[in-house]
A and B are shown apart, each in its own frame.
Chain A
């Protein structure tokens, strides 16, 4: 299940217990929803420029708005600030019609000029925006009238509506006075003006940001007067605060969920992370050129056992680079675990001669307990077929530098997988090999490149789905990455919270969570 709506009736007796627990925190404003929005992998704590942000969208969305958003099930894109949008027949332009009833928090109307300004900022290299690459095919941005924006495209790019779900719109009337460089690190972000359901009221560094309800919000005034984003450097501290009733929401790890199974203070919402965990292979390393070796590694790992014992059944096996069920054909090779077959494949491919008994270093930026257990388990499973894995845990910047420089054999990593499959393009298309991009595994499959290009220029949903199904087949047969699983992620919500919509997603947010309807009992 993707998301739950917490309803009042179901949890009435438990809420009483929750109320007892919050008695200590009674001095907290009763009408404030306090959440640790930036704890966990979806967070981006205390970085307030959303144009340079890879994550944290759940919170940006509370005071800024985007043109488009997904539904909570990530099936369909609908409008937020945009009323409608369409591609021209020749695929050379994209027209966006805006809502007419939207005002900035300072009372000024939101117009097409704001959209033109924001998208222009993203395209400006001085902003160093992570979305620039998503708008790579946009050659010009025109505001044809007060509520219409036209993007001219060098090539059709069907993933633009998806890209727009992460781009927060900014007020031109307040920001035009800055140069892009100044704006990137400006103090304005610490007292911004948006169009979202809440207005910015206060920021105390390392403590919290406080927002207050925007009475003029275009979907109606939020029911909770204040929304507070509290900062925690340590996720276990946030989990304890949730259990103690001091906060109403935080991200939880699997361990924290297990530890708090009997908690009466909060409910746990789970959903697929949309992050595919995989073993990445340095495709330039001659030892892995033979597909049989990659297959052997996958078959040596008993994914079913790992999912059952380490993830408590809260993960789904991955069979190819894509994970959304609609892109995965039923007749795909499942690579059932079989150490005997794996051994035979390694022998056929001459692994012993290729590797000469060297240990294989596996690099990872994950350092949570579950990932450590997973790597240790894979280590012992691979040892049975004669592969000696040597784990190395590093932080993200170190990982980036080592992998960009090609100084690695294997990695254990995760890739945000969709909802639009074109998000995988920079990770798997040969044109994006470092230093140009983040195809850090140096995947170079011309067949795959062609499918990415075709998928991007196809507007017809059914045809697009077929293209990505084919992509799943190719990555399943060739195994440029060794797909493992998509694990669930968890959010804990106080039983006082009602009408809350939440689901884990890479980077958080990007879906219609309607905070204006959230309530506190």
Chain B
């Protein structure tokens, strides 16, 4: 990616731009393949280095299995093969579109993931939407009231929100809004016997809001500082000199030019949002990938851990690529090569 400065560049024809973008995307895709491989290899090594194997996880500290029984389990899980062989076998499987079976109960990993993907997307996307809208909105407000009381209040909120871990905010949110005020249910995806969309949204409201809190704070700070920087530019002064009102200047002139760092922050924090979702899902008993992932780690369910890692890594790489595409869309001076 590079920023072109020459005015003639803006005249580049549409088809040329599309060509460039296609080339760029292909390029990024190729670069991403080794990145993905490195991520998977690292996670595989880390998971296998963690003490305790799936058989240890299967047998609780005081229960007893004979050697013969343990051998049956180890053979079935493929643990009688050395780790590098297991990695190659797993890669081959993945290349054939097969993520393997869970150690815990023999369910297909892909089926387990499928049932969790909708709840997770629902939570992450709602969190992202609330976070982006509120973050940018409050950022605008904060910049508009720069160094006034509202700005100071929002800054205090931001510092608190950024420094509070997601699970803590979750528990506090649950205590206040579910237990004390009874506005929302304490957790779950639906009430037993009520699987309608309305019921899901009722359960979604609190966890999605909690998930977005940190995101709001970060985005608000970036929006604010981005805007304040732009506001010192000459063309803003010109606009003000022309007699435009302050709100119009901020929304029409300053904001579009402050968008680039905002998009960067949204893209870069997507991974953190997914990470936060793991805790939020646990606290709110939300049946998503985060909860599944944690279950996989606790039972040393290697195929499940690897399957989810693959999916999350791909998701984050795709989002990074999308961020680049959005750059060139909001700022025509940027071209993708």
Q: Provide the bound-state CA to CA distance between A27 and B191, in Å.
A: 8
Q: Shortest beta-carbon distance, A431 to chain B, in Å?
A: 12
Q: Are A125 and B66 in contact (CB under 8 A)?
A: yes
Q: Are A438 and B105 in contact (CB under 8 A)?
A: no
* Chain B residues within 8 Å of A438, by CB: 61-64
A220 at the interface (CB under 8 A from B): no
Q: Provide the bound-state CA to CA distance between A404 and B58, in Å.
A: 14
Q: Shortest beta-carbon distance, A415 to chain B, in Å?
A: 6
Q: Are B187 and A241 in contact (CB under 8 A)?
A: yes
* Chain B residues within 8 Å of A32, by CB: 192-193
Q: Shortest beta-carbon distance, A241 to chain B, in Å?
A: 4
* Chain B residues within 8 Å of A55, by CB: 60
* Chain A residues within 8 Å of B285, by CB: 206-207, 230-234, 237
Q: Which among B64, B174, B186, B291 is the interface contact of A426 at CB below 8 angstroms?
A: B64
Q: Output the nearest chain B residue to A423 by Cβ-Cβ distance.
A: B62
Q: Are B66 and A47 in contact (CB under 8 A)?
A: no
The stretch of A64-72, A299-307, A390-398 that contacts the partner chain: A390-398
A125/B52 contact (C-beta < 8 A), A185-B106, A206-B292 known: no
B69 at the interface (CB under 8 A from A): yes
Q: Which among A27, A206, A437 is the interface contact of B64 at CB below 8 angstroms?
A: A437
**Contact flags (1/0) for A24-62 with B, using CB distance below 8 Å?**
110111001010000000000011110010110000000
Q: Output the nearest chain A residue to B70 by Cβ-Cβ distance.
A: A128
A204 at the interface (CB under 8 A from B): yes
Q: Shortest beta-carbon distance, A138 to chain B, in Å?
A: 14
Q: Are A234 and B282 in contact (CB under 8 A)?
A: yes
Q: Output the nearest chain A residue to B105 by Cβ-Cβ distance.
A: A185
A181 at the interface (CB under 8 A from B): yes
Q: Which among A23, A132, A237 is the interface contact of B186 at CB below 8 angstroms?
A: A237
Q: Are A401 and B69 in contact (CB under 8 A)?
A: no
B325 at the interface (CB under 8 A from A): no
Q: Which among B63, B65, B171, B188 is the interface contact of A207 at CB below 8 angstroms?
A: B188
Q: Which among A128, A204, A400 is the interface contact of B72 at CB below 8 angstroms?
A: A128
* Chain B residues within 8 Å of A24, by CB: 182, 185
Q: Output the nearest chain B residue to A426 by Cβ-Cβ distance.
A: B64
B179 at the interface (CB under 8 A from A): yes
A175 at the interface (CB under 8 A from B): no
Q: Shortest beta-carbon distance, B164 to chain A, in Å?
A: 16
B152-182 residues with Cβ-Cβ distance < 8 A to A are: 171, 174-175, 178-179, 182
* Chain A residues within 8 Å of B57, by CB: 396-397, 400
Q: Shortest beta-carbon distance, A386 to chain B, in Å?
A: 30
Chain A interface mostly: mixed
Q: Provide the bound-state CA to CA distance between A232 and B65, in Å.
A: 28
Q: Are A186 and B187 in contact (CB under 8 A)?
A: no
Q: Provide the bound-state CA to CA distance between A34 and B194, in Å.
A: 14
Max chain A Cβ within 10 angstroms of own Cβ: one of B57, B59, B107: B59
A198-227 residues with Cβ-Cβ distance < 8 A to B are: 204-208, 210, 226
A237/B52 contact (C-beta < 8 A), A125-B66, A186-B106 known: no
* Chain B residues within 8 Å of A236, by CB: 171
* Chain B residues within 8 Å of A397, by CB: 51-54, 56-57, 300
* Chain A residues within 8 Å of B151, by CB: none
Q: Which among A49, A126, A432, A437 is the interface contact of B105 at CB below 8 angstroms?
A: A49
Q: Which among B51, B64, B67, B112 is the interface contact of A432 at CB below 8 angstroms?
A: B64
* Chain B residues within 8 Å of A228, by CB: 192
Q: Are A399 and B61 in contact (CB under 8 A)?
A: yes
Q: Are B185 and A25 in contact (CB under 8 A)?
A: yes
Q: Provide the bound-state CA to CA distance between A75 and B291, in Å.
A: 40
Q: Are B298 and A240 in contact (CB under 8 A)?
A: no
* Chain B residues within 8 Å of A432, by CB: 64
* Chain A residues within 8 Å of B60, by CB: 54-55, 396
A365 at the interface (CB under 8 A from B): yes
Q: Which among A207, A233, A402, A436 is the interface contact of B190 at CB below 8 angstroms?
A: A207
Q: Are B69 and A27 in contact (CB under 8 A)?
A: no
A246 at the interface (CB under 8 A from B): yes
Q: Which among A132, A205, A234, A246 is the interface contact of B287 at CB below 8 angstroms?
A: A205
Q: Provide the bound-state CA to CA distance between A233 and B293, in Å.
A: 12
Q: Which among B62, B175, B190 is the interface contact of A240 at CB below 8 angstroms?
A: B175
Q: Are B187 and A133 in contact (CB under 8 A)?
A: no
B17 at the interface (CB under 8 A from A): no
B44 at the interface (CB under 8 A from A): no
* Chain A residues within 8 Å of B188, by CB: 207-208, 230
* Chain B residues within 8 Å of A206, by CB: 116, 189, 285, 287-288, 291-292
Q: Output the nearest chain A residue to B281 by Cβ-Cβ distance.
A: A233
Interface pairs A-B: 8 shortest CB-CB: A185-B106, A397-B52, A206-B287, A400-B56, A397-B56, A397-B57, A398-B51, A241-B186
A residues whose Cβ falls under 8 Å from a Cβ of B: 21, 23-25, 27-29, 32, 34, 46-49, 52, 54-55, 125-126, 128-130, 132-133, 181, 184-187, 189, 204-208, 210, 226, 228, 230-234, 236-237, 240-241, 243-244, 246, 365, 394-404, 413-416, 426-427, 432, 435-438, 440
Q: Told that A230-B192, A414-B62, A438-B64 touch, could you supply 18 new A-B pairs with CB distance under 8 A?
A: A21-B182, A25-B185, A27-B191, A28-B191, A126-B72, A132-B66, A204-B287, A206-B189, A206-B292, A207-B287, A230-B285, A234-B282, A234-B283, A243-B179, A396-B61, A397-B51, A400-B57, A404-B56
9 inter-chain pairs at a CB distance below 8 angstroms, sorted by A residue, are A47-B104, A54-B63, A130-B65, A185-B105, A207-B285, A236-B171, A397-B54, A416-B62, A440-B61
